[in-house]
Amino acid sequence: MLLTVLSGLFFSCLTIPFGKMLKTKWSILLPIVPLLLFAFFLTQIPLISSGNSLYQHINWISSLGVNFDFKLDGLSLLFSLLITGIGTAIFVYARSYLKGHRYYDRFFGYLFLFMAAMLGVVLSNNILLLFIFWELTSISSFFLIGFNNDNAESRKSAITSFCITGLGGFFLLAGLILLGNIADTFVISELIQAKDLILNHQLYPVAVIFLCIGAFTKSAQFPFHFWLPGAMKAPTPVSAYLHSATMVKAGIYLLARFTPILGGTPLWNNTLMIVGGITMLYAAIHSLFRIDLKGILAYSTISVLGVLTFLLGIGTKEAVTAASVFLLAHALYKATLFLVTGIIDHETGTRDISLLSGLGKVMFPVAIAGSLAALSSAGVPLTFGFIGKDLIYEATLHTPQINFKWVLTGLAIATNVGLVAAGFMAGFKPFFGKLPQQFAGVHLPYTSMWIPPLVLGVLGVIFGCAPGITGHLLTEQVAKNIIHHEITAPLKIYHGFNQVLILSLSTLAVGTLVYLMNKASSRKLAFIARFKALSPEQIIIGCGEDLLKISAWATSLSHNGYLRSYHLKIILFAEALLAYKLWHSGSISIDLNMLTQPGLYEIAVALVFVGALGIMVSTSSRLTAVVSMSIIGYCTCLIFVFYSAPDLAMTQFTIDTLSTVLFVLVLYRLPSFINLASRKILYRDAAVSIGFGLILSLIALKVWSEPITKDISHFYGENAYLLAKGKNVVNVILVDFRGIDTMFETVVLSIAALGVYSLIRLRLKPTEKE
């Protein structure tokens, strides 16, 4: 399984050196990769259908609990088949769709990357590994949405979607780590064993909320749904693949995967039901007001994602079965509709459904594909969508919350009516009616473009007519993976004349009616646009802008660009902190016997020192300041002499001399100091600096009065001669015990010298030119 994931990454990398070749006839090789993967997963069906799972474990960072743990069970297999199967269709399609595009090679690089990441998500048995792939899907989605990178709208949509899914990613990571810490394992199959522990843990609600935010952002649930319509800026094959069939379902996958770990509680079920319910109805209504084909499809996709979340929230075996069937049905018909839309856009140059009609006369096979998908989406009998809808009603009618039975059913009906109409708008409207004059010259696209949607559309009908093909895998294994409950009821086309059938048929009738009455026009678009200010999108973007304003205000408050004001703030803060700590650290007691008596020389030196310091601070002459500086240095040097530090004294003396030379060399031509500050500011600064000096003196006194251990010094003293054959301990420390430090000190010195050298040389160049 690692191989299947890695192969995508491998081919993604291959597109870098061999990208040029892809633009030629070699591109025929592209769809072979997903096709082979698809074939591989198909061969696993018998094994998985019989109730087994496939495991693979490769150590990676075992100490952190991150390993390549893979597991193939029913749920993973369903998604893997979707990813590779629809992937194959998309690859075939995109090869023609983007023919001659400037970034042809790049596109397939991203697509391979996405496929690998997505397979990684559904196959991972380790939650941290899952997270890594999860983020990879966000990244590849970012690149694909912004694929037309010279379009400002594309870039903006890419950033929006990346921010939203990235935000969700953070929450997801937090939630996953929380779960891992509670259960002390990062392996999914072990987490399931620890279910009781997790459910009873006090942080359980936090983990659920975090995980849900991660899943909701990815699967475009209300109120994070708005990135998905924006993501339609991507090339149509990408919309079909990432933003309807696979990636957005990663959130659904996550919820399904974690149902056996976190599910079964009111918190889990209600959150999913409420969020899913709002999303499905909100998006279904919205889709009716769109006139852009992709806009309609985007909102109906959001609505379907809402339905899936809703079904997982109900969480009964009927609901879970419905979710798995509907997931597959939707992937098939929605991918078809997107691909058909892509063809229409490609051939006519517009996606406005108020303009499109009658195209069936000029592109018959495409019309068939579109109509089949529309029928499946509407849930007309003998399509797979019909079975899905049946199961949804079955699920809502048999919820454990009997009181809300009709509320939930009503929600589902309303949503489905919207979905029927949206499906008809996208799949029927462009192909029937009168062919406008302007589209008379439109012709059928490349064969490789209309075959994939037709195949997907026909599959929808085949599965619908013979549900037994998928039955084993879907109803038994997938549902078993989600709720750990054996389900034996096979899928049937006809359940007999009952409540569910009546609901199904009436939904279809009402939906058709809505479609016929709902005339697409830009007026409606304007109508819905009026509510934009209230939409979550505007609220979130507004919050972001306000945040920027606040931070700009805070920045302007504290950052005025003057170095000294930063110094002042830093020093005042340090003073406050140190003073507080000093105040609380008790009194200082000085043992007078510990003091060494100062001699006359020392006192004289100290006086000179103080005098030089005073001159330095107050002088207005640069040279005087530098001379005072060197006097201070020499005084320090004398202090070192008096108190047994001959090495220091020598070094200080020579360095001081050299520094003075340096200063004089550079500064003698600078003007003298000008007093720029007012008297008030001078007093303020003086007070601040005296305070700082005082505090440091007190700290020094305090530290000095505490006893210190001298083990290390004694070690050096005792071993200097024995180990290093030296008698000057300071030198021995420098060149022997701590030799590496000295080594790097000389490196630092060299870097400084090189810096000086190059700075001066840099300045010489322009003058040399003149």
Partner 1 sequence: MRSPILQAATKYLLPILLLFSFFLLLRGHYYPGGGFVGGLVASIAFVLHSFANGTESTMKLLKHKPLSLIPIGLGISATSVSLPLLFGLPPMTGLWFDEPIPVIGMIGSSLFFDLGVYLVVIGVVLTILFTIALDNLSDKT
Partner 2 sequence: MELILIILLGMLYAAGVYLILRRSMVKLLLGIMLLGGGTNILIFLLGGIVKGKPPVIAEEAKLFQDVFADPIPQALILTAIVISFALTAFAIVLLKRVYALVNSDDLDDLNTPEEEDI
Binding site for partner 1 (CB under 8 A): 646-647, 650-651, 654-655, 657-658, 661-662, 665-666, 723-728, 730-732, 734-736, 739-740, 742-743, 746-747, 749-750, 752-754, 756-757, 760-761, 763-764, 767
Query: Which residue's structure tokens are 């006359």?
Result: 600
Q: Nearest approach, Cβ of 644 to partner 1 (angstroms)? A: 10
Select from 579, 606, 608, 724 the one that contacts partner 2 (CB under 8 A). 606
Q: Nearest approach, Cβ of 740 to partner 1 (angstroms)? A: 6
692 binds, among partner 2, partner 1, none (CB under 5 to 8 A by kind): partner 2
Q: Is residue 615 within 8 Å of residue 627, measured between CB atoms?
A: no
Q: Is residue 373 within 8 Å of residue 457, measured between CB atoms?
A: yes
Distance, CA of 280 to CA of 308 (rounded, Å): 9
Q: Nearest approach, Cβ of 731 to partner 2 (angstroms)? A: 8
736 binds, among partner 1, partner 2, none (CB under 5 to 8 A by kind): partner 1
Alpha helices in 263-404 (DSSP H): 266-287, 293-314, 317-348, 364-378, 384-397
Select from 694, 723, 739, 743 the one that contacts partner 2 (CB under 8 A). 694
Q: Helix, strand, or coil here: 587?
A: coil
Q: Nearest approach, Cβ of 712 to partner 1 (angstroms)? A: 18
609 binds, among partner 1, partner 2, none (CB under 5 to 8 A by kind): partner 2
Q: Nearest approach, Cβ of 762 to partner 1 (angstroms)? A: 11
Binding mask 424-443 for partner 2 (x = CB under 8 A): --------------------
Select from 379, 480, 633, 634 the one that contacts partner 2 (CB under 8 A). 633
Backbone angles phi, psi at 431, to 5 degrees: -100, -20
Binding mask 701-740 for partner 2 (x = CB under 8 A): x-xx---x-x-xx--xxx-xxx----xxxx--xx---x--
Site for partner 2 in 537-566 (CB under 8 A): 561-564
643 binds, among partner 1, partner 2, none (CB under 5 to 8 A by kind): partner 2
**Which residue number, 434 or 725, has a Cβ lying nearer to partner 1?**
725
Distance, CA of 637 to CA of 605 (rounded, Å): 10
**Which residue number, 190 or 736, has a Cβ lying nearer to partner 1?**
736
From the list 146-154, 391-399, 449-457, 616-624, the region that binds partner 2 by CB under 8 A is: 616-624
The upper half-sphere exposure of residue 325, i.e. CA atoms within 13 Å in the direction of its Cβ, equals 36
For residue 28, state whether it binds partner 2 (rule: CB under 8 A): no
494 binds, among partner 1, partner 2, none (CB under 5 to 8 A by kind): none
Among positive and negative, which fits the CA dihedral 353, 358, 362, 365? positive
Q: Helix, strand, or coil here: 352?
A: strand
Select from 686, 723, 739, 743 the one that contacts partner 2 (CB under 8 A). 686
Site for partner 2 in 640-679 (CB under 8 A): 640, 642-648, 651-652, 655, 658-659, 662-663, 666-667, 670-671, 673, 676-677
Q: Nearest approach, Cβ of 165 to partner 2 (angstroms)? A: 40
CA 572 to chain centre: 39
Token digits of residue 265:
């509680």
Sequential DSSP letters for 58-121: EEEEGGGTEEEEEEE-HHHHHHHHHHHHHHHHHHHHHHHHTTT-TTHHHHHHHHHHHHHHHHHH
**Residues 292, 297, 300, CA angle at the centre, nearest 5°?**
125
Q: Nearest approach, Cβ of 100 to partner 1 (angstroms)? A: 56
712 binds, among partner 2, partner 1, none (CB under 5 to 8 A by kind): partner 2
Token digits of residue 172:
């997801």
**Which residue number, 247 or 729, has a Cβ lying nearer to partner 2?**
729
Q: Helix, strand, or coil here: 126?
A: strand
Q: Nearest approach, Cβ of 613 to partner 2 (angstroms)? A: 5
Q: Nearest approach, Cβ of 724 to partner 1 (angstroms)? A: 6
Of 141, 147, 143, 146, give the one whose Cα is nearest residue 168.
141
Distance, CA of 233 to CA of 295 (rounded, Å): 10
Q: Is residue 260 within 8 Å of residue 209, measured between CB atoms?
A: no
Tell me which long-range contacts 612-619 makes (C-beta under 8 A, separation of at least 24). 619/673
Sequential DSSP letters for 547-579: HHHHHHHHHHHH--S-HHHHHHHHHHHHHHHHH
Distance, CA of 209 to CA of 238 (rounded, Å): 30
First CA to last CA across the chain, in angstroms? Answer: 68
685 binds, among partner 1, partner 2, none (CB under 5 to 8 A by kind): partner 2
743 binds, among partner 2, partner 1, none (CB under 5 to 8 A by kind): partner 1
Q: Nearest approach, Cβ of 158 to partner 1 (angstroms)? A: 49
For residue 595, state whether it binds partner 2 (rule: CB under 8 A): yes
**Which residue number, 281 or 629, has a Cβ lying nearer to partner 2?**
629
- Tell me the Ramachandran region of residue 349: left when phi exceeds 0, alpha when psi lies from -120 to 50, beta otherwise: left
